[in-house]
Chains A and B, each alone.
Chain A
Amino acid sequence: EAGVTQFPSHSVIEKGQTVTLRCDPISGHDNLYWYRRVMGKEIKFLLHFVKESKQDESGMPNNRFLAERTGGTYSTLKVQPAELEDSGVYFCASSQDRTGEKLFFGSGTQLSVL
């Protein structure tokens, strides 16, 4: 079965620009998560979708971040405008049930804001 895919794998942008990250979960997985790892820190939760609804967005840093999952399939995470501190690796994960007992992670998008 195809795993969780993320695009792009790397993105280098300048401060103030906009970037959109995409995640395609495993087919049939209603639950989709975004996590982020900034350099030197642990992986941190951003938000959780159940189908197209936001179940928990308590980890979103601020209103420059917008996550969507129209139609309950793939998800996008837009950062606008990007700041230097947004640099890091953004991971997407999916699971079959909402307990998140076993998360399947994508390889991540390395975002560098210069």
Chain B
Amino acid sequence: SQKIEQNSEALNIQEGKTATLTCNYTNYSPAYLQWYRQDPGRGPVFLLLIRENEKEKRKERLKVTFDTTLKQSLFHITASQPADSATYLCAARRSSNTGKLIFGQGTTLQVKP
């Protein structure tokens, strides 16, 4: 079955370092991958979208890559801050004519001062 997999273990890093989160997909060929941030008790908040024909996308301190050979997306937060602590969700969409997303379970990031 179609599956989006993220590291279920929490990621703990020191402030100022780069956080790297992984999203792998199986039995699936998404046309788009999206990354969302979720804080406790809140809904996901959209961060970045990358298309299958794009290798890399950047937005301020965020960078996302999409490797269709490895079937993987990497999400980087550079110069991390304690305020970046949250759960980060990877979501895939098959094509442009559907809004249906398949989510991973999310990876919790803890940035320590």
Contact = CB atoms under 8 A, between A and B. Distances in A.
A93 B43 contact: yes
A33 B103 CA distance: 14
B45 interface: yes
A104 B46 contact: yes
State the majority secondary structure of interface residues on B: loop
A100 B101 contact: yes
Contacts of B57: none
B45 A99 contact: no
Interface in B42-78: 42-46, 49
Given A42-B4, A42-B105, A43-B89, A100 B100 contact: yes
Contact of B101 (A4, A31, A45, A108): A45
Interface in A17-65: 31, 33, 35, 41-45, 48, 55-56, 58-59
A1 interface: no
A65 B45 CA distance: 26
B103 A43 contact: yes
B89 A33 contact: no
B43 A56 contact: no
A103 B49 contact: no
A103 B106 contact: no
Nearest to A48: B99
A74 interface: no
A42 B99 contact: no
Contacts of A88: none
A41 B99 contact: no
Interface of A: 4, 31, 33, 35, 41-45, 48, 55-56, 58-59, 91, 93, 95, 98-108
Interface of B: 4, 32, 36, 41-46, 49, 89, 91, 93, 96-106
